[in-house]
Amino acid sequence: MTDLKSCLANVIQGKSLTQTEAQEIMTQIMSGQVTHAQLAALITGLKIKGETVDEITGFALAMREKATPVMTNQRFLVDTCGTGGDGSSTFNISTATALVVAGAGLPVAKHGNRSVSSKCGSADVLEELGVNLAIDAVEAAKCVDEIGIGFLFAPLFHPAMKHAAAPRKELGFRSIFNLLGPLTNPLGAKYQVVGVYDANLTEVMAKVLHKLGIAKAFVVSGIDGLDEVSITVPTKITRLEQGQFSTFFFEPDLVNMKTCKIDALKGDTPKENAKIILEILGGEKGPRRDIVLINSAFSLMSCGKATDIVGGMEIAAEAIDSGKALKKLDLLIKFSRKEVA
C-alpha cells in the first residue's frame, strides 16, 4: 500500500505522484483512512505544484471503482458535465444543452451535483423544474434507455466522496476534486464536451480523458474562465479524436454569431435559472439561446451527429423550435416521478 505520509512529503517538495500512487491514495481517501488535515495538505500541495495527467487519472480511476455501477444499452452516450467553479454566475448552460442534445436524438447521461461555488448547480435547477433526483442506478439506466436522457445525481452514485466533503468546503479553493466530475460519469459516456475553468487545463484534461477510454471529446474553456464554449470571448478548445489531440480557438464570428457581454448570460437562484431554461426551450431568441446552440453543436459533433459547428447549430435549433427539447424535459420529469412506465 502506498504510504500517504511519504507521498505528502514528496508533493510538498514539488514532486508528482505516479498514477498508481494517486489511485491508491484516492482509494484511501474514499475509505475514510485519511484525516482531514492530511487531505487538506494533499489538496493544497497538488494545487500549488499543479496536478498532472497521471495524478488526475489515478484519482478518477479510484473514484470510478468506488462508484455505484450503472449499465445502459446505449452505444453513443453523451455527457455535458463541466468542472464548474468558474465563478461566472451564468445560468445552467450545460444543463440546457443536455436537454437540447437529447431533443436532437442523442442519448444523454447528465452527471451533476448541487451548487458548490455558485448559487445554482445542475441538480438544483433540475429539481426546481420538477425532476426527482433520488433515483437509483437501475432506474437511471432505464431512464436513459427509454427516455433518451437521465440525470445522475453525483452523491447517490459516489457515496464514498463524503469523506472529502468537509476539507474541500473548509479550504474553499478549486482543487483536483473539481476536475473529477466530468471524468467519473457512472454510465461511462464515451463522448463528451468538458468545460474547464482554466484554459491551461484543456490539454491536460484531454489527455486524461484519453487514458480513461473516451472515444471523442472537446475540452473547452473561454479565455475569461467560462467553463463552456463562450460567445463573449474566444474559447480555447482541445479536441481528442482517435487518440490524437489538436488545439484551436473558436470565436463566435466564425459562425456569424454576435458576441455579448457576460451579463447577458447571468443566472441567479434555481427558480430564476429554471425560468431561463424554460424560456430557451420555449423558443426565446437571444444570447442565451445562442450559447446553448453553440455548446449543443459541439456535443452533436462529438459523436458524429453533426459534422461541423453550423450544421450542429441547425440540428440544435430544430430540436428547440420543434418542441422536442422541451418534450425531453417533460418526459424526464414524469419518469423520475414514476408518472410514465
**pLDDT digits 0-9 by tens, 168-202:** 888 888 899 989 989 998 888 889 999 999 999 99
Domain 4-66, second-level architecture: Up-down Bundle (1.20)
What is the model's pLDDT at position 340?
59
Classified as helix, coil or strand, 46 is helix
Q: Please tell me the distance from the alpha carbon of residue 312 to that of residue 229, in angstroms, as a whole number.
A: 14
What is the model's pLDDT at position 86?
62
Q: Where are the alpha helices (DSSP H) in the chain?
A: 4-12, 19-30, 36-49, 53-66, 93-103, 122-129, 137-147, 154-157, 162-171, 202-211, 270-281, 287-302, 309-321, 324-336
Tell me the mean pLDDT in the region 209-232. 94
User: Confidence class of residue 118 from pLDDT cuts 50, 70 and 90?
Assistant: low
Q: What angle do CA 242, 246, 249 make, to 5 degrees?
A: 140
What is the model's pLDDT at position 186?
87
Q: Please tell me the distance from the alpha carbon of residue 122 to that of residue 125, in angstroms, as a whole number.
A: 5
What is the model's pLDDT at position 338?
87
- Model pTM above 0.75: yes
Tell me the mean pLDDT in the region 288-302. 97
Pairing, β 78-79 against β 191-195: parallel
- Indicate the helix (H) or strand (E) that contains 149: strand 149-153
Exposed e or buried b for every residue in 238-252, given b needs 16+ CB within 10 A?
bbbeeeeeeeeebeb
For the chain, the maximum distance between any two Cα atoms, rounded to a whole number of angstroms, is: 59
For residue 295, what is its C-alpha cell?
Answer: 455548446
User: Taking the domains of the chain in order of start, what are their residue ranges?
Assistant: 4-66, 78-157+181-336
Dihedral sign from CA coordinates of 142, 143, 149, 151: negative
Domain range 78-157+181-336, its CATH number among 3.40.50.280, 1.10.10.10, 3.40.50.800, 3.40.1030.10:
3.40.1030.10
Q: Is the pLDDT of residue 297 over 80?
A: yes
Tell me the mean pLDDT in the region 210-234. 95
